[in-house]
Amino acid sequence: MLRERLTSGRGRLSVIAATTGVWGMDLLLVNHLRHRSLIAPNLSDLVHSIDIVATIAFIAVTIGLTVSLFRGKNRHLFRWALAYLLFSMLQVIANVLSMVATAGSHQGGGLAGLWDVAAVYMESVLVFMFVYIFLDVSTPGGAFIWPSRQGEEPPEPHIIDYLFISMNVNSTYGPTSEAVMSRRAKLVMALQVLLAIVMLTVLIARSVSSTG
């Protein structure tokens, strides 16, 4: 039923808006690094070229995903969704690595200069939320076991439940009450935990240098 909600009516518009929002955050981060001159001059052209290629790839994937959403072709939709999610995870990994590479370049500016760390954090939460939704609806029997009160049927998962899982993995480094049954979901969670630890390390280092 969750898959039906996301592929019909307002759910389709929500999916398109969310994918565009994630890309918007990524563009803001790249522009921030370039305008603050935090990218080495010899790498600036390379980063610009990668940014152009990534923009073209994003437009192509988004068009394919949008057409599949409105045509209702589930097979094509899942393929485009998988391509987008893999592309988005690579973006998150690249952004985290860029934060590590430029952590020593931020001096002063106060805590207000940490907005890009918060943006990468929220981008990670949103991207992995969609990954968990994809894994749950594409895994036979579901990728998660949802807890329920004694004597009651298990609840139907909502998008907020997946957001809660992703937020927990990013902050407490693991799910809280949901049981993970899919090995692919476990591998994805392990990747998200590693990225979250790196982000926390960068946040601490940047906080010290920003207030120092």
Task: Burial-class residue 146 by CB neighbours within 10 Å (0-12, 13-18, 19+).
Answer: middle
Q: What pLDDT does 89 receive?
A: 86
Flag whether the pTM goes above 0.85: no
Give the model's confidence band at 194: pLDDT under 50 very low, under 70 low, under 90 confident, else very high: very high
Q: What pLDDT does 191 receive?
A: 93
Q: How does the average pLDDT of the chain come out, rounded?
A: 77
What is the 3-state secondary structure of 18-57? HHHHHHHHHHHHHHHHHHCCCCCHHHHHHHHHHHHHHHHH
Percent above pLDDT 70 for the chain: 76
Does the pLDDT of residue 32 top 90, yes or no? no
The strand pairing partners of 135, in sequence order, are: none
Q: Cα–Cα distance between 5 and 159 in angstroms, integer?
A: 10
What mean pLDDT comes out for the span 143-159?
A: 82
Task: Burial-class residue 23 by CB neighbours within 10 Å (0-12, 13-18, 19+).
Answer: buried
